[in-house]
Amino acid sequence: MVSISSRRRRTGSALGLAFVLCAGPAAADWSYKTAAEPYQGVTIRVLDEITPLQETLATLVPQFTEETGIEVDYELLNHFEVINKGQADLLSGRGYYDAIMLHGFQLGPMLSAEVLRPIDDLLADEALQSPEFDAADMIEPAYSTTAAFGDKRYGLINWNYNQIYWARKDLFENPDEMAAFKDKYGYELAPPETFTQLRDIAEFFTRPAGTTLAGETLDSDFYGIVMEGVKGGSTFLSLWGNFIKSYGGDIVDADGKPTFDSPENIEAIVAWADLWQFAPPGMAEYSLLDVPTVMGNGIAAQAIAWSDFVLGIDQPGAAPYAGKFIYAGMPHKEGMEAERSVEGETSVTAISVHSEHPEATFLFLQWLAERRQQEALLEAGNGGVPIRNSSWALPVMQEGELAGLFSAMEDSLKVIVAKPKMPDFYELYDVLTGISQEIGLGALTPEEGAAKAQAAMLDICETCLLD
């Protein structure tokens, strides 16, 4: 089957280059103050998702007003609300918000509804171009594959949400456990590089109450792995981005035709579903919030999780096991390292087609994405998800207690691409996440599930990509 990932990567790189070229020469006397003069006193409204990262970012926003005289009403809502309220505002034509944070998967439906304003004219406007923006520094292929569609760009990337491998350091460094693992599997206990190793570790650490773990008798059952399993969360995204694509599969081909029942996909689903036997019995209820909670409470040995949610757990005092974790890049299929794929939800803040202040809004988005703001965000010490390559070199990323987490993020972001732009993404996702959950629970075999998913996809769209 032809993967659409590599084609997108090439397109993305080309668009990234085009962006750099059209950015034009830096004007020596350019400043936000002069660029914002026509928009003094204007108030723009920006909707973003609330996590500890955005709360930190919110503290930087007043500096923009100070520099430009443009007032910013920066509103933060939770993941589900920012999707619902943001989309409702865009689709209804109400136009309350000038710019709205959109996850990569939202772009297909929103582009299809033609409610996002292309920003090519703003990017090309020398009066608005900051010489400090430096598009070449943005992490690729995430940036181009997210913000660009066709020959147009929509918004600037702001959040590179990504998944990482997460495990209990105290268990991985326990001499008894290390020796027992080597005896049983014939290789050293370490963060897995392959899905087979991931399974071995999951199997090894799955133990019933009354047995020992790292020399301690377990009061309750302990599990080898935890992943997201809830219907409606990002369960299927994880299966798709981490497993299916790493096995060389995808849910659509280059023409957008559904390919869910391909042999590669079934092989990947088998590997993913096999892990459920080593997971807590309630995993089918676990959302992206529950996975870190389970890890923080020491119920499981390893996890596949969103790195930004890890930040809320691996902080002093935040959870009983905070500070006892290691992180790594996502495993891959044996012999297919080059095809390795990691689930990411690269997100943009896009300007609404209904915005009455697109220039002022663009200035704000550009200001947010600039290096100095990104550095200030990360150096605030509350974690962060870089959007710039230069951010990886910051001392806080290299030397802090979370250096291992940032290293894992960097590893993930080397291969993360945006979701393909699908107008019917929500219908597809709702069906596919339900079927995934049924497969994980054993209600459907991988083959049955893949056949059901293929039929369901064909019911929704014969060609699923946005033209």
Partner 1 sequence: MAAADGTVDDAAVPAGQPAKAGPAWWYPYALIAPAMITFVIISLVPFIYTIFISFHEMKFARLGDFAGFDNYTALLTDSRFWNSMKIAGIFVAIAVPLEFMLGLLGALLLNRPLYGRSILVPFLFIPSMMAPIVVGLLWKIMLAGSWGLLSTNIIEPLGLIGDSSIFASPNLALYALIFVDVWQWTPFMMLAFYAGLQALPVNPYRAAAVDGASPLQSFIRLTLPMLAPLLVVIGLLRLIDAFKVFDSIFVLTGGGPGTSTEMPSVLAYKMTFEFWNLGEASALAVIVWLIFFAFCNVFYQLAKRKLNAF
Q: Which is nearer to partner 1, 71 or 430 (CB)?
A: 430
Q: Which is nearer to partner 1, 114 or 216 (CB)?
A: 114
Shortest distance in whole angstroms from residue 133 CB to partner 1: 32
Q: Please report, as ranges, the residues that interact with partner 1 according to CB under 8 A.
A: 84, 87-88, 91-93, 109, 112-113, 115, 209, 220-221, 223, 229-232, 277, 280-285, 293-294, 297, 299, 424, 426-427, 430, 434-435, 437-438, 441-443
CA–CA separation, 40 and 12 (whole Å): 35
Q: Which is nearer to partner 1, 115 or 363 (CB)?
A: 115
Estimate to the nearest angstrom the gap between the alpha carbon of 68 and the chain centroid. Answer: 31
CA–CA separation, 198 and 334 (whole Å): 11
Residues in Cβ contact with 285 at an 8 Å cutoff, skipping those fewer than 6 apart: 229, 230
Contact 145, 14 (CB under 8 A): no
> Which amino acid is residue 367, in one-letter code?
W
Shortest distance in whole angstroms from residue 317 CB to partner 1: 20
Q: Which is nearer to partner 1, 332 or 421 (CB)?
A: 421
Contact 270, 436 (CB under 8 A): no
Shortest distance in whole angstroms from residue 283 CB to partner 1: 7
Q: Which is nearer to partner 1, 202 or 342 (CB)?
A: 202
Angle at 129 between CA 58 and CA 142, to 5 degrees: 65
Q: Which is nearer to partner 1, 413 or 457 (CB)?
A: 457
Q: Which is nearer to partner 1, 308 or 438 (CB)?
A: 438
Shortest distance in whole angstroms from residue 164 CB to partner 1: 22
> Which amino acid is residue 135, in one-letter code?
A
CA–CA separation, 234 and 344 (whole Å): 10
For 30, 284, 464, the CA distances from 287, given in Å and listed in that order, are 46, 8, 26
What is the full DSSP assignment across 14-51?
A: HHHHHHHHHT-PPPTT--HHHHTGGGTT-EEEEEEE-S
CA–CA separation, 348 and 222 (whole Å): 39
CA–CA separation, 156 and 160 (whole Å): 11
Shortest distance in whole angstroms from residue 247 CB to partner 1: 24
Q: Which is nearer to partner 1, 80 or 187 (CB)?
A: 80
CA–CA separation, 444 and 254 (whole Å): 28
Shortest distance in whole angstroms from residue 109 CB to partner 1: 7
For 264, 293, 309, the CA distances from 92, given in Å and listed in that order, are 41, 36, 31
Shortest distance in whole angstroms from residue 112 CB to partner 1: 7
* SS3 call for 289: coil
> Which amino acid is residue 78, in one-letter code?
N
Q: 284-287: long-range contacts at Cβ-Cβ below 8 A with a sequence spacing of 24 or more?
A: 284/229, 284/230, 284/231, 284/437, 284/440, 284/441, 285/229, 285/230, 286/226, 286/227, 286/228, 286/229, 286/230, 286/233, 287/228, 287/230, 287/232, 287/233
Q: Which is nearer to partner 1, 217 or 220 (CB)?
A: 220
Shortest distance in whole angstroms from residue 113 CB to partner 1: 4
Q: Which is nearer to partner 1, 82 or 138 (CB)?
A: 82
Residues in Cβ contact with 443 at an 8 Å cutoff, skipping those fewer than 6 apart: none
For 103, 207, 225, the CA distances from 274, given in Å and listed in that order, are 29, 17, 11
Q: Which is nearer to partner 1, 62 or 232 (CB)?
A: 232
* Tokens found for residue 313: 């757990």
